[in-house]
Amino acid sequence: MSSIKIKIQLVANDNIAMGPGKADLLEAIQQKGSISAAALSMEMSYKRAWDLVSIMNKSFKQAIIATAVGGDKGGGAQVTEFGLQILAQYRAIEAKANLAVEGETKALMRMLIDC
């Protein structure tokens, strides 16, 4: 089945502060409780996930992800309240953008070859 995917990116200081991949990563961190577990669930390297977290934390006025250093019980990460607000607003923008182009999307989809 074919589909159209709208990709919305929030750019700050030449960095993508938020986009679909970063939003997915935030959701995975919230669900898994760590950057490494989130990366693993997304088939992403830990370094790549950490780099994305670092960019997000540097791009916003407050931290998006809070991390805890490992120890006997291990470390972890959680999405901050501020991060949850950013994520909710981003997902709302995605939904509104998709609704705004729904008619045009359906018309364009009818022009595709059936796969």
The pTM assigned to this predicted structure is 0.86
Q: What residue numbers bound the domain in which 54 lies?
A: 19-64+71-109
Q: Which pLDDT value is given to residue 12?
A: 94
pLDDT in tens, 81-92: 999 999 999 999
Query: What pLDDT band is residue 113 in, cutting at 50, 70 and 90?
Result: confident
Backbone angles phi, psi at 68, to 5 degrees: -125, 135
- Is residue 88 in a domain? yes
The model's pLDDT over 62-82, given as tens digits with 9 standing for 90+, comes to: 999 998 876 566 678 999 999
Inside any domain, residue 13? no
Domain with residue 80: its CATH number is: 1.10.10.10
Q: Counting Cβ atoms within 10 Å, is residue 86 exposed (0-12), middle (13-18) or buried (19+)?
A: buried
% of residues, the chain, pLDDT over 90: 70
Closest CA to 81 of 67, 62, 99: 62
